[in-house]
Amino acid sequence: MTGSDTSRVAIVTGGSGGIGRAVAEHLGGRRFDVVVHYSGNRDRAEETATAIGEAGGRAVTARADVADETEVAALFERARTAFGGVDVVVHTAGVMPLAPIADMRLDDFDRVQRTNVRGTFVVNQAAARVVRAGGSIVNFSTSVTRLQQPTYGAYAASKGAVEALTLILARELRGRDVTVNAVAPGPTATPLFLDGKPQEVIDHLSSLAPLERLGTPDDIARSVLGLVDARWINGQVVYVNGGIA
């Protein structure tokens, strides 16, 4: 499979479900050729690729540990061999184990930092080397960096690092015509977010925004598309949370 000279190509990490799947499908609907990355759930990644194909787009899947530079290099090579290059990288992949700082196991803390911080660094490093002029890199932070909710210490710390990497990379790519931004979702109805939360907690979180609901993967995906299209938004963290903070 080879892209045409006019194809625009996107890699979406974490594209097998939740926000990543919504982003991949929206990009496919915009006639991007999409590489749907997954780390463990091949079947769900294939479902995403199939959905893009059924809607008239083109997609392939690729597995990688985002914190492993050799596997990430192979992911980007998959985009090149399948479609001819890379124009957009949307890095949604991440993990979110929760516990009070006093109680969190250090191996869980290390896993969060490895996936969320090192993973962002490795993916962004590869993207910085190959994304074509007119392209975009979109990372994922979280509104918890502002909300400071208990039990989110390790996760928020990792996303603070993601924001720093995003803002610095935008400036390092001066002259390349490549934008680098981050979106920072608020409470969003994904399996990762909803897992283990009792209904009263979900109801409370739904009430925080003036719009009085949780965000949806579609809400977040539309914000990503806006950053891909907006060539004069660069080096920014965009809070996508319905007005919580």
* Catalytic residue IDs: 155
The answer for residues whose C-beta is within 8 angstroms of residue 81's C-beta and 6 or more apart is none
Going by their DSSP bridges, the two strands 32-38 and 136-140 should be labelled as unpaired
End-to-end C-alpha distance for the chain, whole angstroms: 45
Question: Is the distance from CB of 190 to CB of 217 less than 8 angstroms?
Answer: yes
Closest by Cα among 157, 139, 140 to 99: 157
Q: What tokens were used for 157?
A: 């710390």
User: From the CB of residue 55, how many other CB atoms can be counted at a distance below 10 Å?
Assistant: 11
